[in-house]
Amino acid sequence: MLVLSRKKNESIVINNDIKIVVVEIRGDKVRLGVEAPREVPVHRREVYDAIQRAKEDSPEQV
C-alpha cells in the first residue's frame, strides 16, 4: 500500500485520468473528491461490498 500525505486542496493522480482531491479536513474526517472517467466505477467501500454480495447472490445470467 502506498501511503501519501496531502493537505486541503492537494491531490493525487492515478493513471493519468483519475484525480483524488482533499476537499476538507474536519477533526478525524477527511472529505475527498474523485474525478474519473464516466466508465470508471467509483464507490465507497461499503457500497462496493454490497454490490459484490449482490452479484454473488444472484443467479448467473447465460
Sheet with 29-35: strands ordered across:
11-14, 18-26, 29-35
Strands (E), the chain: 11-14, 18-26, 29-35
| Amino acid in position 10 | E
Element (H, E) at 43: none
pTM (predicted TM-score)? 0.79
- C-alpha span between 41 and 52 (Å, rounded): 13
| Tens of each residue's pLDDT in the chain, 62 residues | 999 999 999 999 999 999 999 999 999 999 999 999 999 999 999 999 999 999 988 866 55
Pairing of strands 29-35, 18-26: antiparallel
